Structure formats: structure tokens, C-alpha cells
Amino acid sequence: MSESRPGPVVLITGAAGGLGRGLVAAFAEAGWRVAAGYHVRAPEAAGERVRPVALDVTRPGDPERAVGAALEWWGRLDALIHNAGVTADALLAQQTEADWDRVVAVNLTGAMRCARAAAGALGAAGGGHIVNIGSYAGRAGGPGQAAYAAAKAGLIGLTAALAAELAGLNVRVNVVLPGVLPTPMTARLSAAAQARLVAANRLGRMNAVEEVARFVVFLCGLQNVSGQVFQLDSRPARWG
């Protein structure tokens, strides 16, 4: 990108996590300017194109402040990647309502808040992209994942609704299911649980953070794709 065309701008939530760091690096490498939203710790520096911004997606007003920071720095916003997510897996009989509320607040309500905060800026830029990072659990569920599966299934529905609602602003909205990735989230699973997830894939292996990140960057370069679900691993899907 030349100085006269410094590159589009993306806001990424959950930028300090395993996939988040990969997304930040991939967008920066592709010439984007990146507002890297973080909750607990700032992401590692990834070049002059990246600026960290504190962002708690569960706190009303925080998404608007993060969008405002991107506009102050670069004058526009071209994409929002809602990557922030948490799990609190437990069988429903043992699931606390506090954990249920937290999982839904981050994975689903947080996506709504960020989309609402970003929509106007995306439209003002002539259109843009919202990419929600979903999960295969939102399609297939699984024991002990009632909260997470419900939130991620809701994210698919939210994506479909926003794709219709924001089409008039030329804002494309899609959801990406990244598959099982070697990140700190999966590292907390037992070896047996990890093996079961790998075995469920037709190809018998985990996905790669770098591959998912490259796909999201590619998706944000498309002009005519919206309201779609992209599953990036080799597990069978129960609906299209």
C-alpha cells in the first residue's frame, strides 16, 4: 500500500487470544490498519499498522469507544471481526447461571453490541464487512456445551438477520467456523478430549490459525458475499 492509499481499517475483538493474534498478523501483513481490541492484556506488537485498544465487549459503551478510537486514528472503518469468546463447559445440571450469562454475554450479546457500534461507520465508508467467529458447536452441540452451543447457534442467526438488515448500507455479514485450533483454549482440554476432536475430522487433524486468518482476510475482500456460514474444517455439518 502506498502512502496515498494507506489501506483499509479493521477492528478485531479478542485480539490477544490465539486466533486473535493470527488475525492481527494476517490483516497487518495484507496492508490493513488494525485496531486490536483486547480485554485483559494488550496483544504483542505486530508492526506500525497495529494499535491496541482496550475493549470489554460485555460493557455497554466499550464497543462505541473502540470504534471511535479507530475513527480518530484513521478516519474510517472497513471491517469488524468479532473474535472475542469464552467457554464455561459443564453439564446443564452443574452449569451455574452466572457462567451461562457470561458465555452468552461475550459470544452473542457482545457480537450484537459490536455490530451495532460499527454499522454506521462501515456504512459511512461506503460499505464493509462484519465477520463473526462462530463454532461447530453452534451446529452440532455436544455434552457439556449447552451455553456455548446456544450462544454460537444464536450467532449464526444474528449473522443472517444482520446480513438482511445492513444490506442497504452495503455491509456484508458472514460467520466463520474456524474448526479446532491449537490455541490456549484447546490446550486446556484433556489429551483424550483433544484426540476426540481431531478424530471427528475427516482429515484427522486440527486446523491451522494461519489458514483461518488468511481466509478471514480473503473474505473481507469480497464484495458480493453476505449471510453465509463458512466451516473451515472437515467435520460433517448438520445443516447448510
Give the model's pLDDT for residue 187. 66
Give domain status of residue 236, yes or no: no
Length of the chain: 240
Give domain status of residue 239, yes or no: no
Comparing CA positions, the residue from 111, 123, 117 lying closest to residue 172 is: 123
Containing domain of residue 217, as a range? 9-180+209-230
Give domain status of residue 128, yes or no: yes
**Residue ranges in the chain modelled with pLDDT below 70:** 1-5, 44-47, 187, 238-240
Give the model's pLDDT for residue 40. 81
Give domain status of residue 103, yes or no: yes
Give domain status of residue 187, yes or no: no
Give domain status of residue 186, yes or no: no
Q: Work out how many domains the chain is built from and give that number.
A: 1
Positive or negative torsion for Cα 121, 123, 125, 128: positive
Backbone angles phi and psi of 130, in degrees to 5? -120, 125
Three-state DSSP at 99 gives helix
CATH number at residue 28: 3.40.50.720
Residues with a known catalytic role: 148
Could you give the angle at the alpha carbon of 221 between the alpha carbons of 218 and 21, nearest 5°? 50
Give domain status of residue 240, yes or no: no
pTM of the model: 0.92
Give the model's pLDDT for residue 16. 93
CB atoms within 10 A of CB 239: 7
Give domain status of residue 189, yes or no: no
Three-state DSSP at 32 gives coil
Give the model's pLDDT for residue 189. 72
Give the model's pLDDT for residue 81. 98
